[in-house]
Amino acid sequence: MKMVTVIVQDEDAGKLVDALVKRGFRSTRLQSRGGFLRAGNSTILLGVDDSRLEDALRAIRENCRTRTRSIVPMPTMIEQGEFPMAQPVDVEVGGATIFVTNVEYYEQV
Ligand code: 2BA
């Protein structure tokens, strides 16, 4: 079994969960916040059988898309040299950041 941890934009999270339910996957949606933009996003946890991993990844690829966000860098970002000036910059976010880990043990009581 695998644990798929997927970080998606809030705009895509509802559609993705619907698609997962339709395909028979169980999932948990958590509200989260990116460390860089400090903007809200969603983290979805999915426990899946190895044989269904590809199907789950396909659902994620089909339902999450990349968007461009325009941000004004915060003073800390400028100090850290990530951006040279406090002018709006475009940052490409998502579709999805996906981590797949092996599950050692799983039980539902
Ligand atoms: P944030 O950390 O808010 O990052 C939003 C977007 O800002 C990123 O999109 C990336 O395009 C850009 N970005 C992040 N750090 C940057 C930096 N140091 N310099 C320049 N640009 C930077 P994504 O890569 O699609 O990430 C979307 C969200 O996924 C992230 O939101 C974070 O919540 C999560 N994420 C991405 N990679 C991760 C990782 N390795 N571990 C944990 N969470 C991750």
Measured by CA distance, the residue closest to atom 35 of ligand 1 is 97
Closest ligand 1 atom, residue 32 Cα: 33
Q: Which tokens belong to 94? A: 């998502």
Q: Which atom of ligand 1 lies at the shortest distance from residue 66's CA?
A: 25
Report pLDDT for 6: 98
CA atoms within 13 A on the CB side of 69: 18
Q: Measuring from each residue's beta carbon to the nearest atom of ligand 1, which residues come in under 6 Å?
A: 7, 34-37, 39, 41, 82, 91-94, 97
Structure confidence at residue 78 (pLDDT): 67
| For the CA of 92, the nearest atom of ligand 1 | 11
Q: What is the pLDDT of residues 41-77, one digit of tens each?
A: 999 999 999 999 999 999 999 999 999 998 887 777 7
Q: What is the mean pLDDT of residues 16-40?
A: 96
- Report pLDDT for 9: 97
46 phi and psi angles, rounded to 5 deg: -135, 120
Whole-number Å distance, alpha carbon 93 to ligand 1 midpoint, is 7
Of residues 12 and 89, more confidently modeled = 12
Q: Between β-strands 27-33 and 2-9, what pairing exists: parallel, antiparallel or unpaired?
A: unpaired
Please give the average per-residue pLDDT across 25-37, as a whole number: 95
pTM comes to: 0.90
